[in-house]
Structure 1
Amino acid sequence: MPLFSKKNDDSSDEERRRRDDDPDSPEQAPPDEHTRLLPNRLDSTRGLLAPDDPAVTPYNLWTIRTLRFFTVSFALVSFLWWVLLLVSAFTTPPGFHTRGSGFYAFGYASLALANMLFTLIFFGVPAKPVRIVTIVIAVILFVDMIILLAVKQTRYEEGWVGAVSVIWALLMSLWTLLADRTVKWGKEEEEQRLTGRPETRRTLTEWLEVLVSTLAFVVMAVAAALITLNIILRAVDSSMAAPGHRYPVDGGKYRIHVYCHGNKTDPDGKELPTVLFEGAERPVEYEMWDLADNAVKNGSISRYCFADRPGMAWSDTAPSPLSASFATDVLSEALARAGEHGPWVLASGGIGSIYQRVFASRHGDSVKGMVLIDALHEDLLDGVGAPGRGFLLWLRGVISPLGLDRLPGALFRGRTGRDRVYGRAAHQNSKFIFAKLQENLVANSFTKRDVQGSREIQHRDTPLVVISSGKHVKQSKKWDRKQRDLTKLTDNLKHWDVVDEAPHEVWWTWQGREKIEERLRQLVHG
């Protein structure tokens, strides 16, 4: 008997024709995203797959794969934006200058980047706690966006960079919510199709991933909430009016605060020099404003002015880098816009004397005297520009939007707006930290070169007074030598006073104030 009969052949042909004509036949059904991504794994002869089969995955769906592609793309965009803002703290690219610190924009960029990274890491393990926390983050960021854009001062300080950063962070939080919910749907879809029911169990590894991802998003939610509270504090402080006026400088990029008080002439009508004060390590309002007012009241001086360096108190921050020369240029421009042209008697302490020495060398005959109060010598700028100090300043700046020190001070220690803007808590301000970081970055290069050059062109006949801290001189022979060297800045040294028991901030002691006012009186009244 033949191995294959004609009858069998005819039967086979008939079955083949029926299969070809049947659109529901598994072999002839049109390909979809299921059959195209999972060929030859599921058919009528094999039945359902086991829940732990590697083929049971939401990545079978083109929808999920496309979602992951866009998530990776958004993560790359977030990373590039984050890097750009990181670089702008050290060297400001054209158009990226913010009149605030820039640390808030960097904080929002960090939140957006962290959102995308954790979304990618735990992409295949959707979790309801993550979705709940993500909704909370989105609501908080929405509130931040409203405050930043609605309050005039915060909108001015953050600029378009801050606005873009907070909006992008909000959009990324919404994307995380969409991605997690979509992956959950895709996972259930594939489990239903391939195993017959959605899987409710999780492996120990999956539970651990859910725990870690939830904790990560909770940390981000706490950070976003702290930033919001700090922004509210900034909005409240912005209502405090600055004394004097703020003048646009450097082509209108930012403003410098200038304040003047008193009369330009004495009771006899004689024109007297105006004392121009410069703060040391902190805003001049905190260190010398009370001294200046008292000196006018008791007749030691007739009039005074002071200006905040960029980033201090009511002045905006400047683009990086910012050397002593740049700061002096914008101070001169602000004074000119204020109609203040001298003549001047300069009074400064600490590192503020570095700036005033550059100012004195550039204003020649309009400077009628200099009072250096425990001034920093240019040879000691190495400590100001130390790399370790710069890293700590940058780190403080990065975490400053959280308000870890400002918020407890406002809530539990009675810190007021004055304290935060220019007073005892001003060093916690993001703008102040950014200004100190700028100071650190160029202290041992551009600024040192500026002050060394100013020494060469300083008018040699300018009257000079040096007042030193007794404690500082006794503690450091090097400081003593450098104070002695400062007495040689001009050929017209009037006095070198060492105030016993006075700290570096000589003006905080009664003896120090008496000595400063006495020397100012002698220079102003001739």
Structure 2
Amino acid sequence: MSLWGSQQKQNGHTDDTAAADDTQPPTEHMARRSGDSGRREPTERDRLLPATNDNGNIARPPHADGYLDPDDPAVSPYNLWTVRALRFFSFLFLALTFLWWVLLLVSIFVSPPGLNTRGSGFFDFSYSCLTLGLLLCSLLFFGAPSLAMRVSLGVIGVLLLIDLIIIVSIHRLRNEEGPAGLASLVWAIFISGWCILTDRVVTWGKREEEERLTGRPETRRTLKEWLEVLVATVILAIYIVIAVLMTGTLILRARDAGLELDGARYLVDGEKYRVHLACVGDAIQNSTRVPTVLLEAGETPLEYDFEHWAYAAYKNGTIPRYCYWDRPGYAWSDNAPSPHSAGMSADNLAEALARADEQGPWILVSAGYGTIVTRIFSARNFRNVAALLLIDPLHEDLLHTLANPTNGFLLWAEGILSPLGIQRLPGALFKGRTREDRVYGRSAGSGGKLLKAHLQESLVADSLTKSEVASARTIQSVDTPLVVISSGIHVRSDDEWARKQQDLTKLTDNLQSWDVVGKAPHMVWRTLKGREVMEERVGELVKGVKGKMME
């Protein structure tokens, strides 16, 4: 029963009409009276509460119906069209963000035309995930606004703005993230501001409706409302931690972008991205072109340790010159669009060599997965290939081990988490990890670029790449000198690996030697004996090629 109805009873108004009027809802009662008197229908801005006079006392006109209870469902900010409109647009933004999120997720595996980036693509996906989280949190707790939520959203917005400044200021990062990354970040900043706006408007709407329908703004919260505020604040606090970690990782990327490199980076594949190529030594010595050893990395960046034995052989005079490059996603090279196969990498290498005006003849030296790329390159450029040296090579029949679904999922999951810098930030802060470690050293494997490259290799290993290397084997020049060096540990522990190593000695009809280095692991060059055998064999190949060039 309303306050005005109570006063009617106190004043003796107990007639049937008053009693009937008192039981009707205020809005219905006013509408009836308004209709009877010929006035307009009430709107959401009409006051249902009696006004006060100059003395501060409530002046109760005969038509006033009194206050609603603060817990009445009619006391809601959703009565205001402004609040309803903001909620509608929040749902619209959520739908648009979800579509963008799906597109970025798909682009990790298959890059849509025009959406490929030179970076890993994991950062822009992470920004979209954060944007989705902000919108979901805002909508779930739309009716429970709080100052804590607005402050948390403001902190996230400031951190995202710092990220934008870093990316725009660093040329390498700007190129790696591209339009897709910048758009994702700008949209995340906008949504954080939008969520602050909606929270503020809902706060205003609650106060307005409470004053209009109950006579005063409600300063108390129910237990349910306090729980909603607590949960929302905890979720946003987690988002703040995520934003801080992403900003820290981005700062490390900005530092790493300034690391100097040998050689140069060349645009390939229709100038979509750049790959790194460097050479040591002169191509012309004593007025004669010398053979060049061309190095291809295995599963890790070549600069970490694979190049070291080649540099030692160069300093010892065993080889006159060598070149090396980074496959897309490795070390200083950009990531390629997905899918990306070994054959595409071989074409990237050929294009980079052409742009650098490198002509060979080439003695191809490669290890592990890199031997797949080398074999395809050799078959497609056989006129300039003088010899092959394969170090514990991967056989095409074993590519299915890379294409294992579990392996692919783990690579994807690590890539998704890579913007948080879970390994890189502690390494930089507490373990003394340097820029060299992160670009091509021991920490390179935790970076988004290399994880994306490994994921790409895994996705097409047993399909596109296997088809390419099988075709390469049929057109491989049978006269090319061949040397195979195998890991003794690997051969003894895996009979299938041993059989496939023996099969690879039959790639050409000109096998020079097959060495099984007893105590060497898969990365043969990490043992002294392995380096000695490798240098000896490459020296023999160089002498043989020089002899043919002099004929």
Q: Does the alignment reach a TM-score above 0.5?
A: yes
8 Å CA contact 2:47–2:213 kept in 1: the answer is: no
- Which of these residues, 293, 310, 324, is aligned with residue 328 of structure 2? 310
- Which of these residues, 214, 218, 223, is aligned with residue 195 of structure 1? 214
2:491 pairs with 1:480 = no
Question: Counterparts of 1:281-430 in structure 2 under 5 Å?
Answer: 281-430=299-448
The 1-side partners of 2:252 and 2:184 are apart by 20
2:130 pairs with 1:111 = yes
Residues 195-215 of structure 1: CA distance to partner in whole angstroms, max 9, x if unpaired? Answer: 122222222222221111111
Residues 194-249 of structure 1: CA distance to partner in whole angstroms, max 9, x if unpaired? Answer: 11222222222222211111111111111111111111111111111221011111
Query: What SS does the aligned partner of 1:53 have?
Result: coil
Deviates more, 1:202-211 or 1:25-34: 25-34
Residues 287-306 of structure 1: CA distance to partner in whole angstroms, max 9, x if unpaired? Answer: 32211110100111110001
- 2:236 alignment partner in structure 1: 217
1:26 to partner: Cα distance: 8.3
1:189 to partner: Cα distance: 1.0
The 2-side partners of 1:481 and 1:27 are apart by 99
2:487 pairs with 1:469 = yes
Amino acid at match of 1:33: E
Residues 103-157 of structure 1: CA distance to partner in whole angstroms, max 9, x if unpaired? Answer: 1111111111111111111111111111111110111111111111111111111
- 2:458 alignment partner in structure 1: 440
2:28 pairs with 1:32 = no
Amino acid at match of 2:526: W
8 Å CA contact 1:34–1:60 kept in 2: the answer is: no
8 Å CA contact 2:47–2:212 kept in 1: the answer is: no
The 2-side partners of 1:25 and 1:343 are apart by 102
- 1:7 alignment partner in structure 2: none
2:470 pairs with 1:452 = yes
8 Å CA contact 1:272–1:524 kept in 2: the answer is: no
Amino acid at match of 2:326: D
Structure 1, unmatched stretches of 5+, are 1-18, 38-42
- Which of these residues, 525, 535, 550, is aligned with residue 517 of structure 1? 535
1:47 to partner: Cα distance: 2.1
2:198 pairs with 1:179 = yes
8 Å CA contact 1:265–1:302 kept in 2: the answer is: no
The 1-side partners of 2:289 and 2:356 are apart by 19
8 Å CA contact 2:340–2:457 kept in 1: the answer is: yes
8 Å CA contact 2:275–2:326 kept in 1: the answer is: yes
Residues 18-54 of structure 1: CA distance to partner in whole angstroms, max 9, x if unpaired? Answer: x99x9999872454334699xxxxx956421111111
Amino acid at match of 1:425: S
- 2:7 alignment partner in structure 1: none
1:159 to partner: Cα distance: 1.0
The 2-side partners of 1:397 and 1:255 are apart by 21
* Distance change in 2, residues 1:270/1:45 (3 Å): closer
Residues 268-290 of structure 1: CA distance to partner in whole angstroms, max 9, x if unpaired? Answer: x5543100000000111113221
8 Å CA contact 1:58–1:190 kept in 2: the answer is: yes
Query: What SS does the aligned partner of 1:375 have?
Result: coil
The 2-side partners of 1:51 and 1:304 are apart by 81
* Distance change in 2, residues 1:27/1:389 (3 Å): farther
CA-based RMSD of the aligned residues comes to: 2.0
8 Å CA contact 1:272–1:525 kept in 2: the answer is: no
1:326 to partner: Cα distance: 1.1
2:93 pairs with 1:82 = no
Query: What SS does the aligned partner of 2:422 have?
Result: coil
Amino acid at match of 1:248: L
Residues 328-381 of structure 1: CA distance to partner in whole angstroms, max 9, x if unpaired? Answer: 111100010001121010111110101001001111131111111001111111
Query: What SS does the aligned partner of 1:462 have?
Result: coil
Query: What SS does the aligned partner of 1:284 have?
Result: coil
2:258 pairs with 1:252 = no
Query: What SS does the aligned partner of 2:143 have?
Result: coil
- Identity among equivalent pairs (%): 54
* Distance change in 2, residues 1:26/1:477 (3 Å): farther
- 1:228 alignment partner in structure 2: 247
The 2-side partners of 1:51 and 1:473 are apart by 79
Query: What SS does the aligned partner of 1:310 have?
Result: coil
The 2-side partners of 1:344 and 1:324 are apart by 19
The 2-side partners of 1:467 and 1:56 are apart by 81
Query: TM-score w.r.t. structure 1 length?
Result: 0.92
Query: TM-score w.r.t. structure 2 length?
Result: 0.88
Query: What SS does the aligned partner of 1:95 have?
Result: coil
The 1-side partners of 2:531 and 2:520 are apart by 10
The 2-side partners of 1:237 and 1:29 are apart by 69
8 Å CA contact 1:274–1:305 kept in 2: the answer is: yes
Count of residues paired in the alignment: 501
1:504 to partner: Cα distance: 0.4
- 2:66 alignment partner in structure 1: 47
Amino acid at match of 1:276: L
* Distance change in 2, residues 1:26/1:170 (3 Å): farther
The 2-side partners of 1:517 and 1:454 are apart by 27
Deviates more, 1:198-207 or 1:146-155: 198-207
